[in-house]
Amino acid sequence: MEFYDVNFSYIDNKTLQEEFISIPEQSGGKLIPEGINKPGHLYTVGQSENGMIGVYKIETEMMNGTGKFSYSGIGSKKEAREALNTAFSYLKSNSSNISALISTKNKDYLMQVQDLNGIGMTNQLALPALVALCSAALNKHVLPSTAILGSLSIGGTIIKTEELANTLQVCLDSGAKRVLIPISSSADLTNVPPELIGNFSLIFYQSAEDAVFKALGVE
């Protein structure tokens, strides 16, 4: 596509919310398509339970409610469930550090995780899920063509990406043009071929809040 940066959207006259529309020409057959996703939608790349590296799409919707968080798509995977609960718990405890506009008391959040490669679910979902929740809560889309790497512990510690070179190769093969990456993984870039690194705009983050701001393009 010569003009791949063109995006399409409309504003609902009743809700005043902006809805972004993707068209077939934008995807190019890649798992991570070009163009802007809806707020609350993003892509992450991580290891599955069997060690294979794959792409996972997270879709999040927010509605009026009483602060409930529900999710689907992860089956009975305990570690994946714990990761999603970690994300929502972190949001409830730290939303004021991100934006006063985020509500976890009178809004409900519904999240779906999709295993786009069919290789099995990953447990590296806490950090991407937090970004997705904030994206939905603030009605701000994640930067286009972005893959989010890394995870988050229950105590708020950023967990770096293992097998960085292989993970970046999957990002490239899947169509990512930007990669959000923990600063703690920067030392591992010495093991990544320069020609692979040159395919991306690498965006480093130091904390969960920093990851949210940078993923949403907030200065």
Task: Specify the CATH number for the domain of residue 195.
Answer: 3.30.230.10
Q: Are the beta carbons of 43 and 55 closer than 8 angstroms?
A: yes
Give the model's pLDDT for residue 12. Answer: 83
What residues of the chain score a pLDDT lower than 50?
1-5, 25-28
pLDDT of residue 175: 94
Structural domain containing residue 147: 31-215
In a domain, 17, yes or no: no
* Contact by Cβ (8 Å): 112, 58: yes
Contact 127, 151 (CB under 8 A): yes
In tens, the pLDDT along 78-122 reads 999 999 999 999 999 999 999 999 999 999 999 999 999 999 999
3-state secondary structure of 135: helix
Task: For residue 16, tell me if it sits in a domain.
Answer: no
* The total number of structural domains that make up the chain: 1
What pLDDT is recorded for position 23? 54
Say how far apart CA 127 and CA 148 lie, in whole Å.
Answer: 8
Instruction: Give pLDDT, residue 15.
Output: 81
In a domain, 41, yes or no: yes
- Note the pTM of the prediction, 2 decimals: 0.85
**Residue 153 located in a structural domain:** yes
76: three-class secondary structure by DSSP: coil
